[in-house]
Amino acid sequence: MHQIQTLLALGEDQEPATENSAKQFADTVLPGAWDWLAGLGSIFWITLLVLLLIAIVSSFLKLRKRDRTLRLFKDQYISINLGPGRQVRTGKLHPNSLGSVQIDYRSPEPITDGPDRTAMLLSAGDMQQSLCVSRIVRGLDPHHLALRQRQIQRNCNPRFIRRRIRNITNFMTTIKDAIVNTFTQLLGTVGSVSPVGKVISNQKSGITEIAGNFSQPKAYEPNLERNIGRGVEVEIALPDGSPVPSVHHSGWLVSYTENYIAIFDTSEPRDPVICTIDSTLEKDGLTMERGDGWFKVSNASADPCSLGTVTSGQSSTLVNAVLLPGSSINVALPGSESVSLEIIPDGQMDLVCPRACATVRYVVDMRATGS
């Protein structure tokens, strides 16, 4: 009887003995490994809490974020070349979050079978397919001229503290990218160790996206960063069917982001050429066609040009549009009399170009242009 009780007692103690043996074996092979595995449950919940906080903060930042280069033209009248098959549009630019913009027309656009259109809405994808957003310096009022000068001073010739902040921001962006890459690789390793690790590693793509949204992307580019505030020449690739495959424009590299490049032209302004339009006129590659209450200007030359003020009798309208080779624009006539139009060949203009079609190719000496 005593022997049977002894065997039963040994059977009850068998499982704890096995667990203790496994713990002793794990501690012998890798000290602290057992405690590390036992703590994975706590790590899992801590990770979920951290990811939740990061998701909340990143969502707030995404709602508040506006592209830094597009903000240079905020609440100003611009023209946008929308790419092949679409005309140039002009209006007041309002950048929104997530890369979308709204362009308010100067005057309503009449539609024959519906209400007049007062604004155009462009998504981030539409903006990436455009060729450039342009601003003509001649058309700026004194307030926006002073604002433009401050933008040039702040970005091209920043103060010491602003330069240090930019350097620190670039450094932290590089560190952030390295941490995200390291954490992504670590998740793959943890996923092969335990079931909890597999749950976490399955979400590594979402974690990487959240980490990327946590800090606003600057797309640090050493070549561009080195030449901010210097004269550069940008090449804009034109769509198929254009008179030339690309155009080049020189100016000061003011800013850049993940999606855009901002080039300001501070060369000496050129005097406009005044053209009188009665029906159809061709001049230096430009075709100007007049209709009933409207006229159309098409650029078939190899160079961009700017349109200034259109005058009909005592009425005038400020167009302020940049036409790249192959682009066109329709303008409502301010009157029914003879029409005169200001044309500025490659005039003084600022550009914000999508990096999908624009590339900084050269560093240039802007002093030769009178800048």
DSSP string, 172-215: HHHHHHHHHHHHHHHHHHHHTT-HHHHHHHTTHHHHHHHHHHHS
pLDDT greater at residue 315 or residue 261: 261
Lowest mean pLDDT: which of 90-94, 128-132, 201-205, 302-306?
201-205
The DSSP line for 46-87 is: HHHHHHHHHHHHHHHHHHH---TTGGGGTTSEEEEE--TT--
Q: How far apart are CA 66 and CA 12, in angstroms?
A: 67
Report pLDDT digits (tens) over 127-182: 999 999 999 888 888 999 999 999 888 887 777 777 777 777 777 767 766 666 66
User: What is the residue type of 102?
Assistant: Q
Report pLDDT digits (tens) over 235-253: 999 988 889 999 999 999 9
Q: How far apart are CA 101 and CA 99, in angstroms?
A: 7
**Could you state, in order of their start, the residue ranges of all structural domains in the chain?**
273-347
Look up residue 101 and give its two tokens. 């913009």
Look up residue 19 and give its two tokens. 């667990």
DSSP-derived pairing of the beta strands 273-277 and 339-345: antiparallel
The pTM score is 0.73
CATH code that applies to domain 273-347: 2.60.40
Q: How far apart are CA 2 and CA 6, in angstroms?
A: 6
* Cross-strand partners of 54: none
Residue 127, helix vs strand vs coil: helix
Q: How far apart are CA 175 and CA 134, in angstroms?
A: 35
DSSP-derived pairing of the beta strands 117-122 and 132-136: unpaired
To 10 degrees, the CA torsion angle through 225, 175, 49, 55?
Answer: 10
pLDDT, average across residues 94-120: 88
Q: How confident is the prediction for the chain on average, in pLDDT?
A: 77
Instruction: Name the residue among 328, 341, 284 with its Cα closest to residue 131.
Output: 328
User: What is the residue type of 366?
Assistant: M
What is the per-residue pLDDT for 10?
44
Look up residue 232 and give its two tokens. 């550069």
Q: What is the phi/psi pair of residue 90, to 5°?
A: -125, 155
